Structure 1
Amino acid sequence: MKSLQKVKTAVIGYGKISDIYLTNMINKFEIVDVIGCGGRDVEKAQEKAKLFGIKGMHVDEIMDNTEIELVVNLTPPTAHYEIIKKALEAGKNVYTEKIVTPDLKEALELKELAKKCNLRLGCAPDTFLGAGIQSARKVVESGGIGKIVSCHAAVNRDMEFLYYPGAFHTKHGGGIGFNVGIYYLSALLSILGSVEQVSGFAYNTKPECKVEDPSSPLFGESFNVDSENIMVASLQFKNGVYGTMNFSSNTIWPQVPMLMIYGTEGILHLPDPDKFGGKVYLQKKGMSDQIEVPNSYGYGENSRGLGVAEMAWAMRKERPHRANFNMGCHALEVLSGVVKCSETGQVQRMETDFELLPALPEGYLDNYFGRNQECALIV
């Protein structure tokens, strides 16, 4: 691998998700040089940073540090707009956890600000860059199931035991569609491209809940939930494919992920898009059984931060990055369109779009899956 200057990076946010991001960015991706972890509570930032041998920083210290090129924003969605805007104004490129922001207008404002400042914005989920969805994309693009005609995504969860007053899951942008369904939608977008129009329903069928955790001091306390717990939608993609989505957080554990693409010559069963790996199954016309699709891609393990590393390589190679803000904004508009359709009873046409970039290259054990998986991210 040709040696290039590493991208000095800082993480903002010290919640649970930061552990896997920091582990992978520090140990897995050579292009990323993580120098700090920060937030508004310096003590918590320092506690987290100490675990990884990096510096704990106040968010303002990160913004003022001219060496830092890339900020990875792992704060709750309700804080995304403020943090991303502040980072852009400080001259930093930004990669943010999903969703881009709970509000589409704010997301588009940030997109224009990044363009004005000549800076990059990236956005999770990056699971579509993993072995599972990349393998599925190869089958589709090679004509393995013929002409694509439709697709379906569904997931169930029982989220109430995670709810407590003030939890981000209970706020706008934290419901089943925006917090979980976006993995399924992003996987479909990464294979099929952008959506033309949407219709559907998004409702909260249980707006008042009680704290169910008996170990909580708030056990039994009632509180309001503002986020949707069911989202059902129909999609028309620009390429003529039609799809459906059914997301519910008012049902049972364990969740049962379902992601399928239907073609004139077969059906493709995709793995859980909330994960990077998983098996892909193909059922061809005339076959009663499914066959497992051989995988020749890297990153089948938990690779949170993969999108950050791919973006860092794109910065150095001066090419577009794959987990980009255009795709993130489009996913947000699709989900927001379902909500708006519920409110107006009218089909919503999408105004955003994104360029479907090439899949990651395939590789063999010695090239990508062994000592140097990162080779796959260079191109």
Structure 2
Amino acid sequence: MDKVKVGIIGCGKISSIYMENCQKFELLDLVACADMDLARAAVQAEKYQIPLVYTTQQLLDDPQIELVINLTIPSAHAEVSLKAIAAGKHVYVEKPLAVTREEGLEMLAAARAKGVLLGSAPETFFGAGIQTVLKLLADGVIGKPVAASSFMLARGHEHWHPDPEFYYAAGGGPMFDMGPYYLTALVQLLGPIRTVTGMTGTALQERTITSEKKAGQKIPVSIPTHVAGTLQFQSGVIATMITSFDIFGGSDLPPIEIYGTEGTVQVPDPNTFGGTVRYRLTGEQEWTEQPLLPGYEENTRGIGPADMASAIRSGRAHRASGDMAYHVLEAMWAFHDSSDAKHFYEMKSTCTPPAPLPQGLAPYVLD
């Protein structure tokens, strides 16, 4: 199959791993990058040998580019994606899909009307860790799943990220920053969500940056920094979930556990591709470590666009779909809406969980 020519918009911190991995997948041909700061784009282009440095509009005007990877900040996701869709490009956007549900729905409708694919990170569910858990569940190793727990507990990003301000603005916070990893993994493993309940809080109204470059600067906090609640899936499974930037002393709680009628499985950190998978069956005292399926254990961001490229050429469904990303976006807002209104939130969207990765594929080849 002919390679799909790709352009990346947004050359910040996350762009490096995408640029590195785009050059490993057989179907991707990364030909251009763009950024509001052209000097920053030029640095990345030189480092990763990308032929063209563009403004955003120049990239969208280039007819050879079929697929745009949108790595801008969350508040720009919808605007940039809609412009790319209008230009007839397939779009893969970093998480979250958009800041608001209205923006997300507009993006889905625009992509359908234009006949292009829309997809979104996270793509970590392609990794060997979650793919291994998916097979354990499909094989019935822990029986029928009945419940789950999910914990993302951290102190916030101002102590390490060079530009942490957007984590405390609209589209940020622990739920919108890290929730997509956990919710996407849960939807992949347990199916779509039916009902959400939530409570939210904010420990500090202002954060002090301690990372380099901006150390000592203050950040006003305009979003909840602790979000807790429950999810009921269409399958009947009930999950507990907490995402927080207010855990200043650390925690040893597992990222995700799934509880079945015959045992429990521990899911690796969904912000990674590999990790340790363990299960313990009824009556057993010790955990059994499950060998990972052959696949992607290292940081393989860029596999989502590669899978989309394969779908473009073959006509099959792509896995990191816009429908799933919107379902996750609605669920994230559902925690906040439920907390504000003090009632259950009934999900309006649904999605089809992605198909497992086929076994036996060559590295960096997708089908």
| Shorter-chain TM band | over 0.9
Alpha carbons of 1:260 and 1:88: their partners in 2 closer, same or farther (altered >3 Å)? same
Give the deviation of 1:56 after TM superposition: 1.3
Question: TM-score by structure 2 length?
Answer: 0.95
Question: TM-score by structure 1 length?
Answer: 0.92
User: 2:327 — aligned with what?
Assistant: 330
Q: Are the counterparts in 2 of residues 71 and 95 from structure 1 also a CA contact under 8 Å?
A: yes
User: Do residues 374 (structure 1) and 361 (structure 2) align?
Assistant: no
User: Do residues 240 (structure 1) and 236 (structure 2) align?
Assistant: yes
Q: Are the counterparts in 1 of residues 162 and 214 from structure 2 also a CA contact under 8 Å?
A: no
SS at match of 1:268: strand
Q: Are the counterparts in 2 of residues 81 and 101 from structure 1 also a CA contact under 8 Å?
A: yes
Give the deviation of 1:8 after TM superposition: 0.4
Give the deviation of 1:181 after TM superposition: 2.2
What is the alpha-carbon distance in structure 1 between the residues aligned to residue 307 and residue 250 of structure 2?
A: 32
Q: Are the counterparts in 1 of residues 255 and 270 from structure 2 also a CA contact under 8 Å?
A: no
Give the deviation of 1:128 after TM superposition: 0.5
User: Do residues 139 (structure 1) and 136 (structure 2) align?
Assistant: yes
Give the deviation of 1:253 after TM superposition: 6.4
Alpha carbons of 1:217 and 1:17: their partners in 2 closer, same or farther (altered >3 Å)? closer
Unaligned runs of 5+ in 2: none
Which residue among 343, 346, 361 is the counterpart of 1:346?
A: 343
What is the alpha-carbon distance in structure 2 between the residues aligned to residue 58 and residue 101 of structure 1?
A: 22
SS at match of 1:133: helix
Alignment of 1:147-296 (within 5 A): 147-159=144-156, 160-162=158-160, 167-213=165-211, 216=213, 219=216, 221-252=217-248, 256=252, 257-296=254-293
SS at match of 2:364: helix
SS at match of 1:94: strand
Q: Are the counterparts in 1 of residues 78 and 103 from structure 2 also a CA contact under 8 Å?
A: yes
Give the deviation of 1:205 after TM superposition: 2.5
What is the alpha-carbon distance in structure 2 between the residues aligned to residue 9 and residue 318 of structure 1?
A: 18
Give the deviation of 1:374 after TM superposition: 3.0
User: Do residues 56 (structure 1) and 84 (structure 2) align?
Assistant: no
User: 2:37 — aligned with what?
Assistant: 41
Give the deviation of 1:25 after TM superposition: 0.6
Query: What amino acid maps onto 1:188 in structure 2?
Result: L
1:317-367 Cα distance to aligned partner (Å, 9 max, x none): 10110000100000010110000111110110000111123211123xxxx
What is the alpha-carbon distance in structure 1 between the residues aligned to residue 296 and residue 309 of structure 2?
A: 17
SS at match of 1:110: helix
- How many aligned positions are there? 364
What is the alpha-carbon distance in structure 1 between the residues aligned to residue 313 and residue 167 of structure 2?
A: 36
Q: Are the counterparts in 2 of residues 163 and 169 from structure 1 also a CA contact under 8 Å?
A: no
Q: Are the counterparts in 1 of residues 146 and 261 from structure 2 also a CA contact under 8 Å?
A: yes
SS at match of 1:374: coil
Query: What amino acid maps onto 1:373 in structure 2?
Result: P
Alpha carbons of 1:267 and 1:166: their partners in 2 closer, same or farther (altered >3 Å)? closer
Q: Are the counterparts in 2 of residues 80 and 96 from structure 1 also a CA contact under 8 Å?
A: yes
Alignment of 1:297-312 (within 5 A): 297-312=294-309
What is the alpha-carbon distance in structure 2 between the residues aligned to residue 53 and residue 360 of structure 1?
A: 30
User: 1:11 — aligned with what?
Assistant: 8
Query: What amino acid maps onto 2:232 in structure 1?
Result: Q
Give the deviation of 1:164 after TM superposition: 8.6
Alignment of 1:113-132 (within 5 A): 113-132=110-129
- Which 4+ stretches in 1 moved above 6 angstroms? 163-166
User: Do residues 315 (structure 1) and 315 (structure 2) align?
Assistant: no
1:106-148 Cα distance to aligned partner (Å, 9 max, x none): 1101100100000100100000010000000000011110011
